[in-house]
């Protein structure tokens, strides 16, 4: 239905002929879609091409979904194209042809932007599934890709891996080359069947070998990124060959040209394996960053929300905090880094003796109620534990963003949290305590985060408590807390760190890209 309705929108906007002329890389999958697309965009931009990248969701501002040559589209251009599309579609609204829903509108808006901006290549990430996705109005892509598959969106795509894979392979077009990565046999069988039906030349892309990077590092963290990078390299090579550019550019170059290496080492994607060292302004001195806060509060952000991506997230977090401990235990830090968006680094002076600090790993979690936290949270805990990483506390918090709302970076952060329904967060908390203690621990509420006539946060001592004393007693959850709002949670964490200079707090933010985006918005203010 989405694809069918999107085709009407494309017709109304007069984009059909132009859409066929866009030289598109179309990417579907369960996990790694965004990373693969980011790698493709960076590689081809480094090769000298004008690039357009359409991804979802956005974390802070809707313009993040539309990148031109590696940068979010400007506000002026976005508004110009937005209202042009909106007004044309509005004129054609009838009882049987209403305005397109959000994602469908944003998809055709992306096509409009890339066509008008005359990009050389458009990299398009599928929104949901593939077969019926709005992006599947693309009839003549240059090449298609399918990233790693897993059980996600089962309410829409089906309850088996085979059904899900069949939906994803729905982006294949007759005789158009396609690449995928190693999949479980159930998924691979469905992909192969669809490829056979459409006579699609299908190849399995091997993970990138670290030895081929010539000493450089992938800009996106985690071992799983070598799988995504390998797929991106195959997609870009195929795109270059089919557009007649490979021979022209790389006739005598090695298997992995320098421009590919530069792209792989500079690609950016927010909210996936992203580390942010918190810095903020003191109320009494807005021009000076608080030196006492720098480096003592670190946010590890990853929008994992499927069982497979949660496992990857846990492995990355465990590796990252171990690396931090190793690098900070043997010398006095003179400079601390605030890392934004994989590679943008700002230095701030610090002078604490890092070896004296006590490290505390904290979980900041929320997920949409269509997810299954009974799978996500145990997977997170067990994978971290297998690497020797244990959470001192878990904080369950509502997101600020409405899931169906397009927000901009200038959106006002809601301050009224009285009366907010936190029943989902209390459910997550009870589930967490059951996982930690191996048994049901009752249905009482955490006395540190009641929602009645007043907003009550846990005392700072709650964070300082030794995790070894974490046992529920006296109607008190000692391992976790439900927090009334995200802005209050960030302030509470900052206050805890300021009050106790002997601790360094490492916060894993995961379970929802909406939550990750909201945290980024708060930290950037």
Closest CA to 178 of 249, 239, 240, 257: 239
409 pLDDT above the threshold of 80:
no
**How crowded is residue 259: how many other Cβ atoms within 10 Å of its Cβ?**
20
Q: Which has the higher per-residue pLDDT, 453 or 428?
A: 428
For range 292-299, the mean pLDDT: 73
Q: pLDDT tens digits for 220-242?
A: 988 889 999 999 999 999 999 99
Q: pLDDT tens digits for 168-218?
A: 999 999 999 999 999 999 999 999 999 999 999 999 999 999 999 989 999
Q: Which helix (H) or strand (E) holds 351?
A: none
State both tokens at 505: 């707090």
72 pLDDT above the threshold of 90:
yes
Return the pLDDT at 421: 84
410 pLDDT above the threshold of 60:
no
Q: In what order do the strands lie in the sheet with 480-482?
A: 274-277, 297-301, 503-510, 358-365, 393-396, 480-482
- Helix 373-386 to helix 423-437 angle, to the nearest 10 degrees? 40
Distances (CA, A) of 417 to 91, 421, 502: 40, 9, 32
Q: 310 with 380: CB under 8 angstroms?
A: yes
Q: pLDDT tens digits for 452-469?
A: 434 589 999 999 887 555
State both tokens at 213: 């990077």
For range 132-147, the mean pLDDT: 96
Closest CA to 509 of 498, 522, 496, 525: 522
Return the pLDDT at 476: 60
pTM: 0.80
Judging by DSSP bridges, how do beta strands 274-277 and 24-28 pair with one another? unpaired
* DSSP class per residue in 145-200: EE-B--S--HHHH-SSHHHHHHHHGGG--TT--EEE----HHHHHHHHHHHHHTT-
């Amino acid at each position: 239905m989405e694809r069918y309705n999107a085709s009407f929108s494309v017709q109304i906007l007069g984009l059909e002929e132009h859409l066929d002329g866009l030289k598109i890389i179309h990417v579907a999958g369960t996990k790694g879609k965004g990373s693969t697309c980011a790698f493709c965009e960076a590689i081809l931009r480094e090769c000298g091409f004008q690039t357009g990248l359409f991804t979802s969701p956005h974390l802070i501002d809707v313009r993040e979904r539309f990148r031109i040559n590696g940068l979010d589209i400007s506000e002026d251009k976005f508004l110009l194209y937005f209202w042009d599309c909106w007004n044309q579609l509005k004129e054609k609204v009838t009882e049987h042809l209403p305005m397109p829903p959000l994602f469908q509108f944003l998809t055709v808006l992306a096509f409009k932007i890339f066509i008008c901006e005359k990009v050389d290549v458009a990299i398009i990430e599928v929104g949901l599934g593939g077969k019926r996705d709005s992006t599947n109005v693309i009839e003549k892509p240059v090449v298609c890709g399918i990233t790693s598959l897993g059980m996600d969106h089962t309410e829409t795509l089906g309850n088996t891996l085979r059904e899900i894979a069949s939906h994803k392979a729905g982006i294949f077009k007759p005789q158009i080359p396609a690449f995928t990565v190693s999949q479980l046999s159930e998924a691979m069988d469905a992909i192969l069947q669809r490829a056979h039906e459409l006579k699609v030349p299908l190849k399995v892309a091997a993970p990138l070998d670290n030895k081929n990077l010539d000493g450089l590092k992938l800009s996106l963290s985690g071992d799983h990124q070598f799988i995504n990078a390998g797929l991106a390299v195959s997609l870009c090579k195929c795109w270059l060959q089919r557009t007649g550019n490979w021979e022209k550019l790389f006739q005598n170059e090695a298997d992995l040209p320098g421009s590919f290496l530069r792209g792989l080492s500079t690609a950016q994607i927010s909210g996936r394996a992203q580390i942010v060292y918190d810095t903020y302004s003191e109320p009494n001195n807005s021009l000076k960053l608080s030196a006492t806060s720098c480096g003592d509060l670190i946010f590890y952000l990853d929008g994992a929300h499927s069982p497979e991506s949660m496992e990857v997230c846990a492995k990355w977090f465990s590796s990252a905090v171990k690396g931090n401990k190793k690098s900070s235990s043997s010398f006095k830090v003179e400079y601390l880094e605030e890392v934004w968006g994989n590679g943008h680094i700002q230095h701030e002076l610090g002078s604490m003796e890092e070896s004296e600090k006590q490290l505390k790993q904290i979980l900041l979690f929320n997920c949409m109620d269509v997810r299954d936290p009974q799978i996500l949270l145990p997977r997170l805990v067990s994978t971290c534990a297998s690497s020797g990483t244990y959470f001192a506390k878990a904080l369950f918090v509502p997101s600020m963003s409405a899931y169906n709302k397009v927000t901009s970076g200038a959106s006002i952060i809601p301050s009224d949290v009285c009366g907010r329904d936190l029943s989902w967060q209390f459910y997550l908390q009870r589930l967490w305590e059951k996982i930690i203690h191996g048994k049901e621990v009752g249905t009482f509420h955490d006395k540190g985060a009641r929602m009645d006539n007043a907003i009550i946060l846990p005392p700072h001592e709650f964070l300082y408590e030794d995790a070894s004393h974490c046992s529920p007693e006296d109607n008190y959850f000692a391992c976790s807390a439900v927090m009334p709002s995200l802005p209050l949670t960030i302030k509470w964490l900052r206050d805890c760190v300021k009050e106790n200079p002997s601790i360094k707090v490492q916060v894993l933010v995961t379970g929802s890209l909406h939550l990750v985006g909201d945290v980024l918005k708060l930290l950037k203010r």
